[in-house]
Structures are given as structure tokens and as C-alpha cells.
Structure 1
Amino acid sequence: MLRILLVDDDVIVRKWLRLVFESHDREFTVAGFAANGREALEFCRREGADIVITDMIMPDMDGMTFIQGLREWDLRTQVIILSNYADFSLAQKGLSFGAAEYLLKGEITEEELLEVTRRVGARLAGGDRPAARFWGFGTVQIGQIISGGWPETDAALDREMQRRAGRVWCLVFCQDAPGRPAGQGWAREAEAILSGLGLRAGMYVISDRVVAALVADEGGAQCAELAARLQTCTGGDGAPFSLGMDGPARSAEEVRLAFSHACEAARLRFFRGPGCVCVYEEDSREPGMDFQTATQQAYQFVKAGEWNRLKGLIDGVRSGSDRYSVEDIDRLRRLFNAVAEAVIHHAQVCCESAPQLQDTNPIAEIGSILFLDDLTEWLCRLICQCRDLVQRSAGEESMQRVLAYIEQNYMNELTLHTISEVAGFSPNYFCNVFKERTGKSVSSYLTDVRIEHAKRMLTTTGKSIHLIAEDVGYESPSYFIKVFKDMTGVTPNRFRKLNR
């Protein structure tokens, strides 16, 4: 019976996991619980566990540090990472530290979790050793080769490569269709594709959506040739997976480096979209854009309510994708998260908490989106949603307050800054909202109000043109006469004669 340790800072998740495994008490026993990596490491040292199921982001000690601690103590415990984040770099790092599987909380079912745990348990017992398909190496040995720390396996691979005078290409298959069943099924599809191309390959499942492959290159295939053959298998847009690749490698050490490079290349699908083959290349390009400046500009646009300029900034980010490198992916995600947080906060301030946005979690949303185009579309939809909420909120109540203020103070010197303060918005943003609501600029509307009051005085009082000009807010009678004529087509004196 396998002893399971459940590690998560979320009590609800721990309770759910406990129910999953306790309902199969003939196979598993829940040995304990921990709220962070430090508690988990102490438990493993003190009491031991066969399998640990752990979150990644936790207080005090995160999942990655915990896994590293296990390996430093040479504990045989197998680790399954159960994370909220569909971040390929986390999966890669988890594998390099010795994790057995990387699963997503929002996508894994109870049945799939149990099956993965059984598979890891079989590996622990030495039962996960299928018939050798790659130069005599099975699944377990392939995992040992790409993760490192297994001198005997490395030496065996080096001897085999020398004997065969062969080379190895490293491929990383990444599932692009989240709706497809996760796990081993599509990995078998990938293996069948390589076999159909006449390639001798061994597969290793990194996570439920990422599979590594070592491909024997005994014929001296060139990189471009291999990439072209693989490209025809992905089927273009909408294909079930993308590929990262690097090689050839001529030793176990080079295989690990090639695997790391293939993982890095696979991340470029973020820019290129689904169904692509990404070949690793040394990247010496300068950063594609100044992300700090872009973030500051975004904050300014949000504060000023300049929604179109904000969307233009995001569109500009997307259009520059050919200039970005792998290092820019995390910067882009941070930029998009900053923009999302800013527009949500702005909408909530303007709309009395905006309940429509309370369930929106930018970090989770952005972390689950695989491609830049999809991420940009999501952010633009969020911007439009927040814009509509703010503009509706700036509607009747706010506008009535402003119009009443103008009506009561038209005879005084009114500036855009003064009027916008009454509305509670910045001057630039207030101009946009005011024009959308009234069809006129603030100055045009104020002029209309002043001229209407001047008309009333001209027809109901005997005041001079000079006094009427002062009463409606014009210091210069000559300028008042000009504006009046531009608005009515006649001078004030002529208007008085025609309407008395």
C-alpha cells in the first residue's frame, strides 16, 4: 500500500485530495498533511512517504525548494506536482529537480489523478519498465537521462552512442488543445507519428500535457530536414501539439543540454501559435520593447480613461511578436497582468466595486492562456468590459451633477479642470465621457448655455449689451458680440429688435 503525503496551503484542496485517496484505501493510505514545503520535508525525513502530492506556490517554502530538499537528502520519495499554473517553465524546472509528474488542478479529474498516482507508484516499485524501445533504454532510463543525477545510466548511454556512432535529437511535445484528454493517450499518438516517419524514439511523460522524446539519428539527418518532416505532422493551426527541438547530441551530457534547449524552444509557441515546430537557436537579440515604459504608459491611459490608446498599446505589443525572445514571455505576462489589475481596479473604484469583475482572477487567467494572440484578445475583451462599466457609471448621476453645476455657475470663469473635478474624473477622461453623453465638447456646451441666457436677457430686460456680456461670463463685450453672432447669425442688438 502506498503512503501518500498531501501538501497544499489551501485547506479545501487538502480535504478534496484526502477524499479522493481515502475512497481507495486498499491501494493508498494518507500518511499526513502539510501546509508548506518545510512541514512536508520534516515529515518525509521523520516518517517517510512513498508519494508526495504538492502545490508549487506556498508560504515559507515553495514546492520547488521542497523537491530540491528531498533530493539533497537522497530520499526515494516520488513527487507529483499539482499546480494552478499551466506554465511550461515550471514543469521543466520541476522535472529537472526530480518531480515525477506535473498536473493542473483545474483540469485533472479524480480518475486521472488516481491513474497518475498508480503509475508513479509502479515506477517507485520498479514496475514502470516497459520493453526497451530506444537503444535498450526504457521509460525510466530516459527520464533519468534527461533529468540527470544517474551516472550509471549516463555511462550506459555514452557507451551505446559510441558503439552505434549515433546521435540523438531531443524533442518536446506540448499539447495545444486543452479540451483534449490529458495524459498518456496523446503521447502515444506522438510516438506513433515518429514511428511512422521511420524514427527510432523513446518517450518520457513530463506532465499531463508535455512529453519529451529522444530520437535516434543514425542516418545523420540535418536539423532543417527533420524539422520539415515534423512540421507536416503537426497539421498546422488547430493541431493537437507543438514541438520544440534541439540536437544533435553525442553524449548524455549533451542530451541534457539539448533537452533544456528544446524546452526553451517549445516556449516560443507562445508567439507562433498552435501546431508549430520551434528549433532552438542562440538568441542575441535586444529586448523587443521597453516593458517598464509600456507599463507606465498603460497606467497613464487607464487613469485618464483613454481606452482606445490603451487598446492601441496592447495591439502594438502583439504586432511586435517577431522581435521577442523566450525571456520576453514572462515580461509580457507581467505587463498584461499589470494592465488587467489596473483596469479592474479603476472600474471597481468608479462603479462601486463592480460585482461583474469580482470573480475575475488575472493571474489565473493569464497563466492558463497558451498563446500571445489569445492572451491579447482576452485582455482587450477585459478592457472593453471595464470601459463599458465605467462609462455607464459615469452616466446619468455624474452627468446631471456636472450639467447642474454649469447651469448654476455659467456666469463665472469655468475651466475644464474645475468642471472635471465635479465629475470626479481626470480632464482628459472627462472630455471623452462628456462628449459621448452630450454630443458636444465642454467648451461648446458652456457657450450654448451662456448664449441661451443672453437671449433671455435680451428679450426680457433692458440691460445694455455690456452688462449682459458680463452677466453671462464674458469679460469682453466685443468677444461676446462675435460669439453671439457666430451662434445665431445676428448681433445681440439685432436679435433684441427682432424678438421684442
Structure 2
Amino acid sequence: MNRLCKVLIVDDEFLVRQGIKHHMNWESEGFQIVGEASNGEEALEQVRLLKPDIVITDIVMPIMDGEAFVRTLKASQPQIEVIVLSSFSEFEYVRSTLQHGAADYILKPKLDTNELLQVLQRTAGKIPELQYEPSHEGWKLGQFMEKMISGFALEDENDMAMVRDTFPHDCFRLLVCGTQSISDKDEMEKRLRSYLADVECAMVPAESELPIFLLNVDPAKDDWMVGRIKQMALENEAGITGPSWVLSDSFNSFNQMGDVYRNHLIKLMEYRFYYEDRSILVYSELPPLHTAGYQFNVNMFLQHVKRNRTEAARDYLREHALTLGRDYIADVFEIKSFLGNLIFNVTITLADMDVQSSALEESKYTYFKNVDGAASLGEVMNVLDQFMLEVQECTAGDGGKRSDPNMKMLLEYMHEHYDQPLGLAEVAKHFHFNPSYLSSYFSSHKKEGFNEYLNKIRIEKAEELLRSDDVTISEISSMVGYSDHSYFCKVFKKFTGLSPSRYRRKFWA
């Protein structure tokens, strides 16, 4: 594959990270600094998001040190190569990282441009996917394409001459094929070249899980090429066993590639969310757009739930899904957020109805996760439909049970005053209970204790606030009843497994 080698820098010292980033023009040497992290825990998240080829990491760092980071990384992603930075006194740790799969190390006191470049080149040479050849014209072409999709233009006449030699025709298209594994991507490139014998074809080094190809053909054969691609998508069962393929409209210059990629191709890839059953989406062949003519009536939907008309609520959801499918430019993130909040509102409504279901209480987080991870509108609606079936069982009495009136008032009070300094003593005083009795009474009706239940209410509200980007995390901790910000972060991580900042980053990603 002809693309830049992606590098992630991990060091708790900001100046060290900046020094490495600005050591030289990395792209001219075949490398791209894709990101940085200040500790091992943060680096693991960056690895997941950025998928680097090589990681340069320090040893001594807070939260998770380099030794633990390398051990964890190589256990889950052994294909990623690691270069360790260390001082003379840390060599025992270096030895440990080498035993766990690190490729090489550099002593910090001797760090200089030439040594770092040599170590990176040696390490990149171990990665079969890269086939690192800085002098190779194919590699340079990959670099040109990467610059184009990043918004840069080619101005050097020698560079343009190389492009014209490689792509001699005046008709270009960008194609996205629905395969994700590295071996499948390489196989797909071979099949494309075989299937489109008269077409120049090159894989684009873009940040995409699916392979993107630049196609160049004689304008007189463009219709023939489009027909062949549609046939190939059908044969690969695109939209049935895998993601739909995407094909841009034609453009007549290599220099237009970046605009077409950013303004057309990325949008088409998002539109696949609404057209999961189509084998291929072509920009000029999109169906007529019908924007939503009405707003979803949340109050009416929840009234159906309150009156045990769950089937009517499900029908209303399905009707809304059909409307969303015709409004294919609607933001996917906003739709998922809305439907996730719908699940949250239904669970609150059930609590107001005095319906308790331990199974639904536990499974709602799975529903949130499945909505967030769904690849298509149909998949989201299947999750919602399953959720509403479970709600129907609860409201019919099969999965839920009614609590006594005192417990209902107690829970309502906690939901209404969670943002205030609320403790067992204050609530006991309000309801004229003995604190010890209230604690036992609460535990006998709920699977968790008073404090744990209160924390759960607060954290659920905090999650809702974090899913919007309008309020800072310190403000959120106060808004949900925590006077100590660090304690809020500790409780939040206990319930969700993530810090508030990582939760927000993951949601917005």
C-alpha cells in the first residue's frame, strides 16, 4: 500500500512531544504524526481512534506508564510497532518493553533527527502493509493524494507531470468499497483492476475503515465503468452482507479530488445510514429529498406509554422512521441522540408510573450502546422496537411490579431534588422517618442502597448533560448535586467505566 506511515507520540512532557512533531518535515520522509497523548491510558484511546502504524512512547508517565502501556497495547494489537524513549537509568524498564514486543528504543539524551528517522525507517520496514519505499513513485503518488484530500493543492510542475503520466484521462471518480480487513482491501484492489481493465486505479490513503479508490478513465468509457462497478457491487452483495458501496460523480481534474472527497464522498458515506439495503449509492442518482414535514411529538408518544398503549407508541415510532428515511441529509448523530434520549424518557415515565423492572433497568444501558453503535436506521429502529417490546411486558405486568405509595413518594422526591445537597438524614427528616429505618426500608424495596440509587440518578443526568456540548464538566458536577468535582469524576467512572471527559469525547466522536 502506498501511503504515509502513521505515528502516535506518547510522552507526559509537552515540550518533548512538540519537539518530535516539529523535528523535520515528516511527510517528506514518508511519515505522518497523527496524534499525541500524555500517558498510556490516553494513548490507548488514541490508538483506538487513530489506528497508528508506529507508537513512540516514553517510559515514566503518570496514570499508566510506558511499560504497562506497551504490555496492554501489544496484547490487543500486536501489529502496531512501538519505539521506546528512555533515559540511561530506565533501561530495566526498556528491557521489559522489548520483551513484550517493542521494536526498538532511543535514549532521550542522545535523541537527534537522524537517529530518530533511522529508527523509524527500520521500524516501518517491518510493517508489510506499508512496503516503505520513500523513493518509489507509487509512494509519492499516495502522498500527493493524501495532500489533496487534506485541502492542499499540487503546484510543482514535476509533481503534476507524474500525476498526468499515472492518470492520463480527463474523467475521474472516487469509489468506496464495502470491505474492512487489510487482506480484503488488497484483494479488492486486485479485483477492481481485473474487473475494470481499461481504468487506472489507485487506493487513496484516507482515514477510513473502508477502502477508497481513485478511478481514471477515458470519458467515452465512463458509463461503461459505472455499469461495471454497479454489477460488481451486486455480486459482492453490498448492502446485504456488508456496507453499501459509494461512487462519486465524475470530475475532470486530479486537483478537484479534495473538493469531491470532502463535499460529496463523505456525505454519501453518511447517507448509507438511511439506505442499508442498496448495493451502491451514486451522488447524481440520489432519490428526491423529502425533509421531515413534522416534528416527533414526544408528549404524545409518552402518553401512549402511560396509558399502556405500547403498540400505538411502536407504530408511531415506525412511522417516524419512514419519515427519517426520506430525509437522508438529516444528521445521524442528532438522530441517534434523539432516539437515545427517547429511551431515557420512557424509563423515567415508567418510574413515574410506579412500574419497576430490574431487567429493564439493567438492559437500558445496552440499548443506549446499541443505538450509538448502529450502522443503519433500520438497525436503530430494531433496537427501539426490542426496547418497546420489553416496555410492553413491563406495563402489562409480566416484567414489572408496583411499589407501595410511600416508596413512590420517596423516589419522586429524590428525582426532583437530586441537584441539592441530599443525604439520608435530610430525606429522613423530610418524611419524618428515622434515618436507620429509612435505610433499611429503602434497601428492602430497591436492589441498591439509598446513596447508590441517588448517585445513579445524578450520573444518569450527568450523562444526559455531557451528551450536549453546552456546559463544562465542572458546571455539570455542580448541576447534578456534587460539590466536590473530583468526587463526581470518581463516581462517574465507577458507574460508566469512563471519566466524564472521555465519555464526552467518545460520544462526540
TM-score normalised by L of structure 2: 0.51
Which secondary structure state, in structure 1, belongs to the residue aligned with residue 79 of structure 2?
helix
* Residue 45 (str. 1) matches residue 43 (str. 2): no
CA distance in 2, matches of 1:334, 1:133: 46
Which secondary structure state, in structure 1, belongs to the residue aligned with residue 177 of structure 2?
strand
- 1:60 aligns to what? none
> Deviation at 1:335?
3.0
Counterparts in 2 of 1:380-419, with a 5 A limit? 380-392=385-397
Match of 1:195 among 169, 193, 196: 193
Match of 1:115 among 46, 56, 79: 79
Q: Is the 8 A contact 2:170 2:253 kept in 1?
A: no
* Residue 354 (str. 1) matches residue 362 (str. 2): no
- 2:373 aligns to what? 368
Q: Is the 8 A contact 2:7 2:33 kept in 1?
A: no
CA distance in 1, matches of 2:122, 2:324: 41
- 2:265 aligns to what? 262
Match of 1:228 among 230, 253, 266: 230
Q: 1:41 and 1:144, CA in 2 relative to 1: closer, same or farther beyond 3 A? A: farther
CA distance in 2, matches of 1:79, 1:129: 21
Q: Which of these two proteins has the greater Rg computed from alpha carbons?
A: 1
Match for 1:191: what amino acid? Answer: E
CA distance in 2, matches of 1:346, 1:168: 54
> Deviation at 1:310?
1.3
CA distance in 1, matches of 2:380, 2:33: 37
Counterparts in 2 of 1:179-194, with a 5 A limit? 182-194=180-192
Task: Tell me the matched-pair count.
Answer: 323
> Deviation at 1:230?
3.8
Match of 1:287 among 291, 306, 331: 291
> Deviation at 1:376?
0.8
Q: 1:398 and 1:191, CA in 2 relative to 1: closer, same or farther beyond 3 A? A: same
> Deviation at 1:279?
0.7
* Residue 377 (str. 1) matches residue 382 (str. 2): yes
CA distance in 2, matches of 1:238, 1:77: 37
CA distance in 2, matches of 1:112, 1:152: 42
Counterparts in 2 of 1:385-464, with a 5 A limit? 385-392=390-397
Match of 1:171 among 171, 175, 185: 175
Which secondary structure state, in structure 2, belongs to the residue aligned with residue 268 of structure 1?
helix
- 1:213 aligns to what? 213
Which secondary structure state, in structure 2, belongs to the residue aligned with residue 171 of structure 1?
strand
Match for 2:318: what amino acid? Answer: D
Match for 1:354: what amino acid? Answer: S
CA distance in 1, matches of 2:395, 2:343: 15
CA distance in 2, matches of 1:345, 1:154: 65
Match for 1:388: what amino acid? Answer: E
Which secondary structure state, in structure 2, belongs to the residue aligned with residue 247 of structure 1?
coil
- CA distances 1:255-309 after superposition (whole Å, capped 9, x unpaired): 112223122112222222156210113887341343x434444344344443112
- CA distances 1:90-146 after superposition (whole Å, capped 9, x unpaired): x9xx8xxxx969xxxxxx985674425579x66996965469999885434332332
Q: Is the 8 A contact 1:248 1:258 kept in 2?
A: no
CA distance in 2, matches of 1:263, 1:379: 27
Return 5+ residue gaps in structure 2 as ranges.
1-5, 37-42, 54-71, 83-102, 104-119, 407-509
CA distance in 2, matches of 1:77, 1:184: 21
Q: 1:365 and 1:232, CA in 2 relative to 1: closer, same or farther beyond 3 A? A: closer
- 1:9 aligns to what? none
> Deviation at 1:353?
6.8
Q: Is the 8 A contact 2:355 2:395 kept in 1?
A: yes
Match for 1:45: what amino acid? Answer: Q
CA distance in 1, matches of 2:237, 2:156: 35
CA distance in 2, matches of 1:204, 1:323: 31
Match of 1:146 among 149, 168, 179: 149
Q: Is the 8 A contact 1:270 1:370 kept in 2?
A: yes
Match for 1:256: what amino acid? Answer: G
Q: Is the 8 A contact 1:347 1:353 kept in 2?
A: no
CA distance in 1, matches of 2:348, 2:380: 19
CA distance in 2, matches of 1:233, 1:140: 32
Which secondary structure state, in structure 1, belongs to the residue aligned with residue 291 of structure 2?
coil
CA distance in 1, matches of 2:171, 2:81: 34
- 1:472 aligns to what? none
CA RMSD of aligned residues (A): 4.8
- 1:246 aligns to what? 248
Q: Is the 8 A contact 1:3 1:49 kept in 2?
A: no
Match for 2:210: what amino acid? Answer: V
> Deviation at 1:352?
4.3
> Deviation at 1:311?
0.4
Q: Is the 8 A contact 1:172 1:263 kept in 2?
A: no
- CA distances 1:294-337 after superposition (whole Å, capped 9, x unpaired): 44443443444431121011211333455222325344323322
Q: 1:200 and 1:172, CA in 2 relative to 1: closer, same or farther beyond 3 A? A: same
> Deviation at 1:354?
3.0
Q: 1:326 and 1:152, CA in 2 relative to 1: closer, same or farther beyond 3 A? A: same
CA distance in 2, matches of 1:256, 1:5: 27
Q: Is the 8 A contact 1:318 1:376 kept in 2?
A: yes
CA distance in 1, matches of 2:326, 2:245: 20
CA distance in 2, matches of 1:142, 1:280: 21
What is the identity percentage for the equivalent residue pairs of Structure 1 and Structure 2?
11
TM-score normalised by L of structure 1: 0.52
